[in-house]
Amino acid sequence: MNPLLKGLFLCIVIFSFGSIQAADLTQERWINFMTQNMPALFCKPDQYYRDCYEITKEACEDTASFAVEACIANHLQDLPDIFTYEESRKWGALIEKCVDAEYERTYGNLKKDTPDCKEIK
């Protein structure tokens, strides 16, 4: 996984959750936050998914939205009822992996061949 992307995503999640509430989140509230906010955050200008793929903002957000919702649906039975800070980080990282995998499947042929955009394994 690209370390730049991973660090960026964790910063987004941490700062975003910090801005909405310092206390723990219910599963419903966490899911709502992720599905309503993450696609736009992933697809802001100068972010990995916009800089490293030759796609429009709309296509970026559609793909991110699909990936976030599908990932949550695939793991719904495993999600905790209450999300602590640590749980939010753990599950947020899983969401990021799902989005990354969906981008690679959908837009792998449109990924820019630059050092910052290459996958580091």
Question: CA–CA separation, 80 vs 106, rounded Å?
Answer: 30
Contact 108/100 with Cβ under 8 angstroms? no
CA distance 23 to 108: 38
Residue 11 confidence (pLDDT) above 60: no
Angstrom distance (rounded) from CA 88 to CA 29: 11
Q: What confidence score (pLDDT) does residue 116 get? A: 85
> For residue 14, is pLDDT > 70?
no
Q: Which of 103, 110, 96 is nearest to 8 (CA)?
A: 96
| Spatial distance between the Cα atoms of 77 and 43, rounded to a whole number of angstroms | 28
Instruction: Grade residue 15 by pLDDT with cuts at 50, 70 and 90.
Output: very low
Segments in 1-121 forming alpha helices (H): 3-20, 27-42, 48-51, 57-75, 85-107
Cα 4–8–10 angle (5° rounding)?
120
Kindly report the pTM of this predicted structure. 0.75
pLDDT beyond 50 at 1:
no
Confidence at residue 13, expressed as pLDDT on a 0 to 100 scale: 53
Residue 7, pLDDT score: 47
Q: Express each pLDDT in 74-106 by its tens digit.
A: 999 999 999 999 999 999 999 889 988 998 899
Each residue's pLDDT tens digit, 19-78 = 444 468 999 999 999 999 999 999 998 898 889 999 999 999 999 999 999 999 999 999
